[in-house]
Structure 1
Amino acid sequence: MDLATVIGTAATLASVTSFAPQAWRIIHTRDIRAISAPTYALTVAGFMLWFIYGALLGQWPLMVTNAICCAMSAFILVMKLLPRHSRQAVAKAVDPEP
């Protein structure tokens, strides 16, 4: 495995796993007060643009990584924007026992 592949794999793992604790915390605690909707909207837009960039270059590693990160950050953004009762229902569906 060449150095670029190792660094790309490490970057993918770091990027993808960086959103998992936040998403899990929101599901488990149902608390979104500390989440900034504008920041997550910008994050989602950034991941979408990186995905498109990867698609234009034909670089599937960029596409896959940014699609996963986009989905996770979009989930966090949606949870922030949902009304409380809907957010509770989604969280309960994913984690019935907080």
Structure 2
Amino acid sequence: MDLVTIIGSLAALCSTTSFAPQAWRIVKTRDTSAISSRMYMITVVGFALWLVYGVMKTEWPLIATNSICLALSAFILVMKLLPQRKKEEVASTLDPTSEGQAH
């Protein structure tokens, strides 16, 4: 594996895993008060555009990485925008053992 591929793979790994802890924390705590809606709207649009770019260029590393990032950041944005009752329903479906408490 050449250096460019290693750097690209590490960048993809960092990008795709960076949103997972935040998404899981929201599921566990149901708290999105510290999340910026505006920032996540811009992030979601950015990942959507990167995904379209990857599709247009048929670059599978861009498609895969940005699909995962788009899904996770869109989930966080949706959870931020949902009313608390719906947020509880989604979180309970994803983690039925959690009752909205930080662990």
TM-score normalised to the size of structure 1? 0.96
1:15-54 to 2 correspondences below 5 Å: 15-54=15-54
5+ residue gaps, structure 1, are none
C-alpha root-mean-square deviation of aligned residues, in Å? 0.7
| Counterparts of 1:59 and 1:3, CA distance in 2 | 18
Identical pairs, percent:
58
Task: Please say if 1:7 is aligned against 2:7.
Answer: yes
Name the one with the larger helix percent: 1
Q: CA offsets, 1:12-68, max 9 Å, x none?
A: 110011000100100001100001111101000000011111112111100110010
5+ residue gaps, structure 2, are 99-103
TM-score normalised to the size of structure 2? 0.92
